[in-house]
Amino acid sequence: MNEGWNDIRDAIQGDGDGLSAPIPDHWRQGRTCYGGMTAALMYEAALQQVEDLPPLRSAIVNFVGPVTDTPVLTSELLRRGRNVTNVSSRADVGEQCVGRADFLFGASRTSEVGVDFPAPDAPLPEECELFTPEFAKPMVPAFFHNFDTRLIAGERPMTGTEGYIRTWSRHMDPASREGTGSLLCLADVLPPAALPLIRTMAPVSSMSWIVNILSDKPETEDGWWQVESRLTAAGGGYSTQVMRIWNAAGELVVEGMQSIAIFA
């Protein structure tokens, strides 16, 4: 089996004033590293370079440029407050910044406000079709083969009339299915929600990504997460989408938004 998320994380090592981990070809999306992997590596760098961090609550990720080679990862403590700790991380290739993430960490506390947003009904993963049909496997980005992804609702790229995709997804590597870094790596797995609406193959590029995590310790059964992406607006070669992730018990764990550049 190819290296999974855990293997890449465990390969992080010192590199001058920063950290680095080589990106295998099977984790690439065209000429760059898959965005979820880039975000997860910056998160792991924050954990290793800043001590005593509480659970991750939010991440604002900017994909600045293509990660064409091994990135050097550095993190800076911006502020440690009573409730929230702010850490900024970046990834550089050579002299070029290719990724930037601002992470907010915060311990849980008692609150009188609690609102549930349960997952829509869904068949079990084994009852759903593979997201990528056999004939299409050579056409999908290399990184996508590191995940087991099954279509629940919505449409595949270039086949639909609605900007909506909902799937079951998990890491192929069983050892890579636990922890917040694992979830961040998986959270960007779906193609942009605008892609069902286009009719020709064309480049797309994630520009920015906001991820809010609603659990101290994200967990699910057998690695399966229900992942949803819904197009909210598009025009001028750009789109925006809302993204949600529920665990296998139907509990909302992640909510976010992403900005996409579309060259079609």
pLDDT digits (tens, 9 = 90+) for 77-94: 999 999 999 999 999 999
- What is the model's pLDDT at position 136? 86
The DSSP bridge partners found for residue 217 are none
Biggest CA–CA distance in the chain, Å, is 54
Percent of the residues in the chain that have a pLDDT greater than 70, as a whole number: 100
Give average pLDDT by consecutive 10-residue segment, the chain, 264 residues.
Answer: 94 95 94 97 98 97 97 98 96 97 94 91 97 90 97 94 97 98 98 94 92 96 98 97 98 98 91
The pTM (predicted TM-score) of the whole model is 0.96
- Closest by CA position to 256, among listed 17, 50, 78, 59: 59
Distance CA 29, CA 144 (A): 8
Quote the pLDDT of residue 212. 98
The amino acid at 199: R
Instruction: Provide the 10 A C-beta neighbour count for residue 54.
Output: 15
Q: Which amino acid is at 66?
A: P
pLDDT tens-place string over residues 19-45: 998 999 999 999 999 999 999 999 999
Q: How many CB atoms lie within 10 A of CB 28?
A: 18
pLDDT of residue 134: 87
